[in-house]
Structure 1
Amino acid sequence: MPAPLSFGFLVFPDIQQLDLTGPYEIASVLDRPKEVHLLWHDLRPVRSTTGLAFTPTRTFADCPPLDVVCVPGGIGVNALLRDEAVLAFLRAQARSARYVTSVCTGSLVLGAAGLLRGKRATSHWLARDLLAGFGAVPTQGRVVRDGKIITAGGVTAGIDFALTIIAELCGDEAAQACQLQLEYAPAPPFDAGTPETAPKGVVAKLKAGGAAVREQRSAFASGWAARNPA
């Protein structure tokens, strides 16, 4: 019997729930021993941007060493960029984790923790370029790997990312079984899933709606290198 795999997902106020629940579901249906933890400062429930509540299962203080540590994204990422307890936890886990990962704008938090210097990484299309401020190499892609750093693009890319992780840890057949069990065979009714294919008006609307959040992130990223010399 193989040793249980340990997955740890950060949860936090104003998380983008699908960033978490997509890869969480993949890890949970994996047919082998595993532990899937939800991690936060304390065990009080936190609410996503859409109001869904998540109850952490472990605190940073009592979390064991993880095989995979993952930071989802969401509006709440902005507060995490300045949360030294979060950043210290990620740095500590990164020393022994097999994979250090993120979904969507969670990669900005890995950057703020100093884990992306010189690494290729991706994020949501509205934030990908900001990774340069953390010394990363912004790279377009649904899943981007650089050594043990694996980052996913926006939101639904977390499902592709999770299948990639399962294949790395357990082989292609195990990942295919997870995919089939969840009937993950996307066939969207519109070709509007990237800014290159979506109507220009839709792209402009999303950019305008996210401008204030992006401005806060940009201001933090622009001064990060000076505050954190290599």
Structure 2
Amino acid sequence: MKIVIYIYNGITMLDAIGPYEVLRHMRGAEIYFVAKRKGEIKADSNFVHLNAKYDINEIENADILVIPGSAITFVREMKNKKVLAWINKIDKTTKWTTSVCSGSLILAASGLLKDKEATSHWKPINLLKDLGVTPKRERIVKQGKYLTAAGVSAGIDMALYLSNEIVGETETKAIQLLIEYDPNPIYNSGNISKASNEVIKMAEIKLAKDAKKEIGLMDLLKSGKTLMKIKKMDNTI
């Protein structure tokens, strides 16, 4: 089972590592971290790095493709024609094409989610509309072989769903036990529908802080014509 996780600078690390930690335990799993160019990939926190051992020119197929999200640099990936073409190429070989968080916007920019339903992080989810996708505020959305997960931690749930589909209930339960995934959060504010306005505002401030080194991209997201401007941006961003 060849599992390809696409990574890029500014990635939210748990978007990639959450699914990785589940999927790597499936029998027969082979994980490939792939980037536009091999080498060091920095997280949006700037504190944690991953090493991409493969570039997109070296990977031509996958059983599972995972596209993680980011606080802001997903905008770059949405514009990168080479990356979008590669995603489309890999998708032709996959049994499952998946995303976590704002990674669904990258998939949507590739055209793969057009006229489908998808989820994303609560902050950028409505941008899906401009790409011909119907946003759904759900933890996981399945559309045929396409699986999109909501923000960050939802990638673990998405990976457990995949595991159940591929290796069955008993092995998936064993994987869940192995990583001791037994959520019992101290507060019930992990969904925007349950969070107070005060908490939402504070979360938005923290998101902006994560994205502060990408001021130009942040300005685009604050714009009322975000996706139109993204489409006009030079492909070198």
| Matching of residue 180 in structure 1 with residue 184 in structure 2 | no
Distance (whole Å) between structure 2 residues aligned to residue 24 and residue 167 of structure 1: 15
Q: 2:140 aligns with which of 131, 139, 143?
A: 143
SS of 1:29's partner is coil
Deviation of 1:64 after TM superposition, in Å, equals 3.8
Residue type of the alignment partner of 2:28? P
Q: Is contact 1:143–1:153 with CA below 8 Å preserved after alignment?
A: yes
Distance (whole Å) between structure 2 residues aligned to residue 124 and residue 150 of structure 1: 14
Distance (whole Å) between structure 1 residues aligned to residue 53 and residue 137 of structure 2: 33
Aligned residues between the structures: 222
Q: Is contact 1:127–1:214 with CA below 8 Å preserved after alignment?
A: no
TM-score by length of 1: 0.90
Runs (5+) with no aligned partner, structure 2: 209-214, 233-237
Deviation of 1:43 after TM superposition, in Å, equals 1.5
| Matching of residue 196 in structure 1 with residue 197 in structure 2 | no
Query: What does residue 86 of structure 1 align with?
Result: 83
**Cα RMSD, aligned residues only:** 2.1
Deviation of 1:9 after TM superposition, in Å, equals 0.6
Q: 2:113 aligns with which of 113, 116, 121?
A: 116
Q: Percent identity?
A: 30
Residue type of the alignment partner of 1:29? H
Deviation of 1:208 after TM superposition, in Å, equals 4.8
Q: Is contact 2:67–2:104 with CA below 8 Å preserved after alignment?
A: yes
Q: 2:220 aligns with which of 216, 222, 229?
A: 216
Instruction: Choose 194-203 or 13-22, whichever is displaced more.
Output: 194-203
Deviation of 1:111 after TM superposition, in Å, equals 0.7
Query: What per-residue deviation string (whole Å, max 9, x for no partner) do you get for residues 145-172 of structure 1?
Result: 0011100000000000000011111112
Q: 1:18 aligns with which of 3, 14, 21?
A: 14
Distance (whole Å) between structure 2 residues aligned to residue 137 and residue 99 of structure 1: 20
Q: Is contact 2:220–2:230 with CA below 8 Å preserved after alignment?
A: no
| Matching of residue 132 in structure 1 with residue 129 in structure 2 | yes
Residue type of the alignment partner of 1:15? I
| Matching of residue 39 in structure 1 with residue 45 in structure 2 | no
Runs (5+) with no aligned partner, structure 1: none
